[in-house]
Structure 1
Amino acid sequence: MPTMFRYEPVPRDIGVEEALAARIGDAAHLLARQYAFGEFAGDDAASPVDVSLAQEIHLLDGWRPGSSGVEGEGNGEVEGEGEGEGAGESDWQPYRPGRMVLEELVEQEPPAGPDARLTLAAGLRWRRELASAGLAALLPAFATTCPCAVDGPLAPAPLGAAVRSRLPDPVALVPWLARLVDRDETAAKEFGAAAPDQEALAGAAERWLHWWAPRVADGAPDEPVPPPPPAGWNPNRLEYAFAVRSSTVPELELRAQEYPGGHLDWWAVDAPPAHIPVTEAAVTHEQRAIVPTPAIFGGMPASRYWEMEDARINFGAVDTSPADLGRLLLIAFTTVYGNDWFCCPLPSPVGSLSRVVHCSVTDVFGGATVLAHASLEDPDWNLFGLGEDRGGIAMGGGGGDGTEPPPSPWFYRAASLPAGLESPPAESVLLLRDEAANLAWAVEETVGDLAGEPLDRYARWVAALPPRPAAEPGDPPADRYLLATEVPGHWYPLVPQPVDPDAPEQIRLLLAGLVRDENTPARPLGRLLGEQQWLFEEEVPRSGVRVERSRQYTRWHDGSAHAWSARRKVSGSGSGSSGLRYDVLEPPQGQAPVPPPEPQPAPPAPPAA
């Protein structure tokens, strides 16, 4: 193994008075000091003084949800129907980085009727309208005729149920108020309104409907329907997929096929490595007659003799060995070659694609040097570059002739979202593997109740467990045989299903229900699992996966406020146990029943020998 050694002087005196004195003896001493500082080396004598740049800039103006039409591994189905190469120009939607937030466009969930917050706001609004018309006494009649749901598996807490029981349901209220606006005397008598008060009641109903209409643009459905997932959400992968582009260079699409949610920046997208000729109409030539700024970093050696260096970072004190080439090269670069780099600012608009098409550097001797993209000489140098699109050539793989494609020369300056406000998870689902039961499970940890508040499904399931009957006096204790133990009500199995009968080793995980008692719902209650049918097997690793829904609120750089619901896929907590066992003897009935605890993740496996 090659080794690298570093030589450093070891002073005999610990004092610094002699060094700080910098005594001058003669001209030979000054020449020696110049030689020690490398001032006689001519290989790096020319310094840049002028830089001429030309870059090609394209502003992003379109986006579309869905993947790029890549077939799933081993499933024989296409993800994102209608997308990819067969998608037309009509599939692209307008995107304006100056006014639109890309995260909101990609993650926004389509509305499916009024949510809990809008329902409560509408009930309170009608209460205020009645009070302003002097008809507050009619509110109980409206709450009785158009009641809000306060029971069922998603029943809210007692406080939330008490508030909702005193307010009407806006969906059921709309047809009644429409009749009141038309001066329907039968409808007015239904709520106990006297004849002199019907005109004031009709005015209050008209004002409320005028407030309600723009908030439910499509109208509330007569029957509840399951809300669709976001357009860019892939329920079989539990990830977002989308693409952005500029109409001036339509052949270059930035695709994100595995965006798990969270912060969306330049590293979330990939670009195809295809060669795209320069569009001269989009090239901006810019002459920057400035001295390029030397690159600086923390702990960099000072270039002046009488300048004190930053003592917080000391590369000379890095603990390394002669065989640790990585640290030795880092130390050599920072202490010897760190002053060979220069910076030249190159502005680019936010939400744009750009690439440098010409770069000429003029030094102090008048020589001009044309610089090419660094990846042309070293393909591994691709800092802040766009990776290869997985829909084309596999990442890290080469072409048909055994050569690797060059890195993308494009630079994507994303319209990155600043820090905003994020609520606690309104819904949380844990996907894990149960080695004891040889199954994978989808666990609904938290869902939103009818009042929009988080509901702990484990706590609700334990509270609903029926008490075991006590043994009669004088009866001897006896065990009871159980074919299988009970699984918690918020655990739903992911049953393996062969994708192709001829290839049984290729499976996918199908979400199924369990036969339970009448108090436990057989199907999931939340939105995440409610729209789920099956998953790819690799999406539930041994480490587990947790998917969360939360509310986002932020302000864009133009001052506009944006609020939406987003999803995020994070790592789980390992494998776990559902408590499912077969051939079990239950304890005697005289003993007090103890509800099964919340299943905890299984301990990690011991390291391999």
Structure 2
Amino acid sequence: MAMFRYEPVPRDTGVEEALAAVTHDAAWFLARQYAFGEFGGDDAASPVDVSVTQERHLLDGWHGGSRNDATEWQSYDPSSMVLEELVEEESQDGPDPRLVLAGALRWRRALAAAGLLALLPAFARTCAFGPSGALAPDASAAAVRDRLPDPVALAPWLERLAARDQEAAARFGAAEDTREALATAAAAWLAWWTARIPSQPHTPPRTWDPHRMEYSFSVRASTLADVPLHVGEYNGGHLDWWAFDAAPARTPVAEAALFRDERKTIPAPARFGGMPVSRLWEMEDALVDFGSIDASPADLGRLLLVAYATVYENDWFCAPLPAQVGSLARVVDCTVTDVFGGATVLAPAAAEDPEWGVYGLSESMGAAAGHSGDGEAGPAPSPWFYRPASLPGGLESPPMESVLFLRDEGINLAWAVEEKVTDRAGEPIDRYARWIAAAARSAQAASPAASGPNGAGADGAGADGAGADGAGPDRPVRYRVATTVPAHWYPLVPELLDGQPDQEQYRLRLVRLIRDAWAPPSPLGRLLTETDWLHEEEVPRSGVRVERSRQFSRWRDGDAHSWTTRRKRSGTGSGSSGLRFDVLEET
């Protein structure tokens, strides 16, 4: 295959002669056209009319879980429901942490408005938030929380106060002349609180797979029940058409079952930046210069792209076909009428060459490429096109929980590292910082002599037992069976899948370690609490980081939507926990 390209090489600095477009010999131009084969073309007609008919089905159902999950389909309205919120919504074990703090502050303002702010300490003592153990807030947050009551424990007491219970009023030290105002404030607070706390706990469909750390769900149209769209590896964030896979079922075109949308349009030439223009005095786009593309003679892909962009660009036309948002559609008829009155029926390009189905929905077992795993030709690519109701740009908070999964090649083990968790008020806690602080307090309590500057005692020995001059070859040593692992590192121990020794498939089981009294043996965050094992391939050498964050967005109808999302991102590579066995260390 030979590729040639002719370009002028200007030597003048000006463009006046080129802009003049002086023609000295018209016969010479005709001869050059003949030499280049411009007169050897076929008498091909140009399209003047395109008639396109599409079959459209609006999605109206969805369910969470795997493809074979038998859960009941739930209603889905793309015009008012955010699919990302439906999929990523978490079940609530109790009131939202932000609502808890808002309720406590609201009761404080209610007491202040009624002139009963002096009763707030009594409510804070009776309805205290209580200790949180390893999830205890820091000093500044605890100072605020100790002065406010817990709304969950406060609600039963306010119900008694709203009912004019004299014993409850005396419990908080309310005087006789202030009990009526206290009952009115309690009734107003209860009306606000009960309107935001559901009477029945909401349990959304389970879409999160804790063994793979990703979402799985399906959507469908009830008018096309045998063609559901399945998403099996959704990592969170944003749903688009490429995340969906179509079922391999084939639905024949039936006139009675079609919702037809027939349109007749005039095709327009395909346009792109930098393409040659058809008018003599029109300047081309200078941002794209196909003549400056660097390609070797063997780079056929790039050369063919340049040839298409500079020679055959006027052979392509566009006929728009609007698709409804949240619908599944396929083209059932496409007829092109040319200038000679001839009608040509076009078939899908992917029917002859599956590689052209770049925007169609893929199918399992390599059907999207038109080949099966054994080399034989598979079924044709799916003819369906899905236009999703995609989430617009919104606001996302910093991660409030983060877990890093990594491999420790030094000890042939994988780890789940809890980097960040949330306390009861929803505030993030850095587990590494907590571990460092707790280890320092434990070391200080175990070595009371280390009270001098920089941890040095009266004898000048540092925290590592070395003298001030760093010498001392006769320093005592001690034997340790194993070194200490950080409190927020949890091992993932490989075990045979199903416990059968004849198999070579493994899974990674999350193990709780016996640690010091100040180090919790079990994970504190929600991500690791919900799982007890992972598939072995879900923790690659590059590592994986899973995060939880809050997301806020407005939908097409203007309604505000807020939920907690989970994202699965790439990790930071392999790491080391510092775990060693049979160690001699200096005291």
CA distance in 1, matches of 2:206, 2:8: 67
- Conserved 8 A contact 2:354-2:370: no
Residue matched to 1:543? 542
Residue matched to 2:97? 116
Worse-matched range after superposition: 133-142 or 518-527:
133-142
CA distance in 1, matches of 2:57, 2:209: 29
Output one character per residue of 1:445-472: Cα deviation in whole Å (capped at 9) or x when no partner. 0111233221110011000112252478
CA distance in 1, matches of 2:211, 2:78: 30
SS at match of 1:256: strand
Give 1:168 shift.
0.3
CA distance in 1, matches of 2:368, 2:299: 32
Residue matched to 2:400? 426
Residue matched to 1:199? 180
2:581 partner amino acid: Y
Residue matched to 2:292? 317
Give 1:33 shift.
7.1
1:566 partner amino acid: T
Q: Aligned pair 1:213/2:187, yes or no?
A: no
1:197 partner amino acid: T
- Conserved 8 A contact 2:66-2:217: yes
- Conserved 8 A contact 2:406-2:543: yes
CA distance in 1, matches of 2:65, 2:460: 68
SS at match of 2:355: coil
Q: Aligned pair 1:267/2:242, yes or no?
A: yes
CA distance in 2, matches of 1:582, 1:396: 54
- Conserved 8 A contact 2:61-2:219: yes
- Conserved 8 A contact 1:150-1:165: no
Q: What 5-or-longer segments of structure 1 have no aligned partner?
A: 70-82, 221-226, 589-609
Q: Aligned pair 1:454/2:431, yes or no?
A: no
2:406 partner amino acid: L
Residues 34, 415 of structure 1: alpha-carbon distance in 2 compared, 3 angstrom cutoff: same
Residues 141, 199 of structure 1: alpha-carbon distance in 2 compared, 3 angstrom cutoff: same
Residue matched to 2:341? 366
2:489 to 466, 475, 491: 491
TM-score when normalising by structure 2 = 0.90
CA distance in 2, matches of 1:31, 1:268: 54
Give 1:19 shift.
3.1
Residues 36, 338 of structure 1: alpha-carbon distance in 2 compared, 3 angstrom cutoff: farther
2:262 partner amino acid: E
- For residues 71-220 of structure 1, the aligned pairs below 5 Å read 83=69, 87=70, 91-149=72-130, 151-218=132-199
Worse-matched range after superposition: 547-556 or 30-39:
30-39
SS at match of 2:546: strand
- Conserved 8 A contact 2:367-2:378: no
- For residues 284-295 of structure 1, the aligned pairs below 5 Å read 284-288=260-264, 290-295=265-270
CA distance in 2, matches of 1:461, 1:479: 26
Worse-matched range after superposition: 343-352 or 304-313:
304-313
- Conserved 8 A contact 1:399-1:405: no
CA distance in 2, matches of 1:6, 1:157: 73
Residues 554, 33 of structure 1: alpha-carbon distance in 2 compared, 3 angstrom cutoff: farther
Residues 474, 453 of structure 1: alpha-carbon distance in 2 compared, 3 angstrom cutoff: closer
Give 1:28 shift.
2.4
- Conserved 8 A contact 2:354-2:368: no
- For residues 354-503 of structure 1, the aligned pairs below 5 Å read 354-389=329-364, 397-398=371-372, 402-465=376-439, 466-467=442-443, 469=447, 470=450, 473=459, 477-499=475-497, 500-503=499-502
SS at match of 1:326: helix
CA distance in 2, matches of 1:474, 1:555: 64
Q: Cα RMSD between the aligned structures?
A: 2.4
- Conserved 8 A contact 1:150-1:164: no
- Conserved 8 A contact 1:150-1:156: no
- Conserved 8 A contact 2:369-2:381: no
2:120 partner amino acid: L
1:292 partner amino acid: P
2:433 partner amino acid: A
Residues 180, 96 of structure 1: alpha-carbon distance in 2 compared, 3 angstrom cutoff: same
Residues 532, 401 of structure 1: alpha-carbon distance in 2 compared, 3 angstrom cutoff: closer
Residues 38, 452 of structure 1: alpha-carbon distance in 2 compared, 3 angstrom cutoff: farther
CA distance in 2, matches of 1:190, 1:565: 39
- Conserved 8 A contact 1:56-1:279: no
SS at match of 1:206: helix
Residue matched to 2:230? 255
Worse-matched range after superposition: 375-384 or 463-472:
463-472
Q: Aligned pair 1:308/2:283, yes or no?
A: yes
- Conserved 8 A contact 2:493-2:511: yes
Give 1:218 shift.
3.3
TM-score when normalising by structure 1 = 0.87
- Conserved 8 A contact 1:389-1:395: no
Give 1:501 shift.
2.2
Residue matched to 1:523? 522
Q: Aligned pair 1:53/2:52, yes or no?
A: yes
SS at match of 1:432: strand
- Conserved 8 A contact 2:49-2:338: yes
- Conserved 8 A contact 1:388-1:394: yes
Residue matched to 2:565? 566
User: Percent of aligned positions with the same letter in both sequences?
Assistant: 62
SS at match of 1:549: strand
2:218 to 235, 243, 246: 243
CA distance in 2, matches of 1:229, 1:370: 47
1:350 partner amino acid: V
Q: What 5-or-longer segments of structure 2 have no aligned partner?
A: 451-456, 462-473
1:108 partner amino acid: E
2:541 partner amino acid: R
- Conserved 8 A contact 2:51-2:334: yes
Output one character per residue of 1:466-492: Cα deviation in whole Å (capped at 9) or x when no partner. 225247859984122211110000000
Residue matched to 1:603? none
- Conserved 8 A contact 1:359-1:370: yes
CA distance in 1, matches of 2:164, 2:437: 49
Q: How many residues align?
A: 560
